[in-house]
Amino acid sequence: MSAPGRRPVAVIGATGMVGQAMTQVLEERGFPVAEYVPVATEGSSGRKIDAFGRSWVIRGTAGLDFGGIGYCFFTAGAAVSRELIPSAVAKGCRVVDNTTAFRMDAGVPLVVPEINGRRVTPDTPLVSCPNCTTINLVMTLAPIAQLASLKRVVVTAFQSVSGAGRKALDELDHQIEADCKNQAPRTQTFDKPIAFNCIPQIGEITPSGYSAEEEKIIEETRKILEMPSLDVVPTSVRVPIRVGHALSVNVELAGAVELDDLKALWNRSDGLTYSDEPPTPLEVAGGDTVVVGRLRRDGTRPHAFSYWAVGDNLRKGAATNSVQIAELLLACESV
């Protein structure tokens, strides 16, 4: 029996980088976990994981029963989410999905709590967490839209290797070591070497000419901001950074905005800050704040400007945003 006010919580994909960060954030933010249910691949089943003051046995997904689980976080890939989430919801579990499975489903809220947390209601059984790059982008765009209507957003995303998982990080390390030894780099996760390199395509190219990752940025940004016709022009680049995504953004507005007013608004916005010293991914790794810098006018277009933004893709870009969503669901229980 759970302690009063506490709930059994499951993390599907608990041994992955986002799953581990999610567990850490749940602990940091004091989420009321009565029992922790770590779930991973069958190969990890039976191993133990330390969290919330004790050790827990990792379970596999085969035959997983969601009965009695209060909250479930999914971060094991879209195929697993599509297979298991209907069962979890049917058993009365509140679900936060950190995969692409239901993001563009019209009946599923796609939520960044600082922007559209109102979408989470007492009747919401399932909420999707956006793509890590989208979260950082809309965190900066939403305050701008309070000052003037957005017309066009051009963004280049410099995405760290951790966005592709633990194996990708290991590949980066091995390639750096191979370079130091004057050996040929081994490539498995990526088609080309990532160490000392940039790969200007993340995901398969779609009929539109954009990559799958770029399509996510377009569609999710429009859904979150409730601007279905907003012009969004993205380019996603994988760069040899361990943690932290960076964005180079150019925005055109329908009307004039004073840059000092925008800086002040960013600084007043939850989870966001402006820095006169240009921020770097290394400086934001391990934190939950999206940091903006290098704001300047674009003299080639009316009411346009450019800026730079960085954020931790594993935390605010995934785990922290997911836990914040769960906190909104938790608050709904008392409504």
245 is catalytic: yes
Sign, Cα dihedral of 81, 83, 89, 92: negative
Q: What is the DSSP string of 105-159?
A: -TTS-B--HHHHGGG--TT--EEEPPPHHHHHHHHHHHHHHHHS-EEEEEEEEEE
DSSP state for residue 199 in the 8-state scheme: B
Question: Which one of the listed residues 72, 93, 129, 245 is annotated catalytic?
Answer: 245
Catalytic residue among 132, 180, 198, 332: 132
* Backbone φ, ψ for residue 46 (5° rounding): 95, -20
Q: Are 136 and 220 in contact (CB under 8 A)?
A: no
Question: Could you give the maximum distance between any two Cα atoms of the chain, in Å?
Answer: 64
CA–CA distance, 323 with 267 (Å, rounded to integer) = 23
The secondary structure of 246-262 as a DSSP string is: EEEEEEEESS---HHHH
Give the separation between CA 265 and CA 259, rounded to whole angstroms.
Answer: 10
Map residue 304 onto helix, strand or coil. strand
Residue 174 neighbours by CB under 8 Å, 6+ apart: 185, 186
List, in order, residues 6 or more apart from 30 with CB less than 8 Å away. none
Count Cβ neighbours within 10 Å for each residue of 168-198 and write b for 16 or more, e otherwise.
Answer: bbebbebbeeeeeeeeebeeebbeebbbeee
**Annotated catalytic sites, by residue?**
132, 245
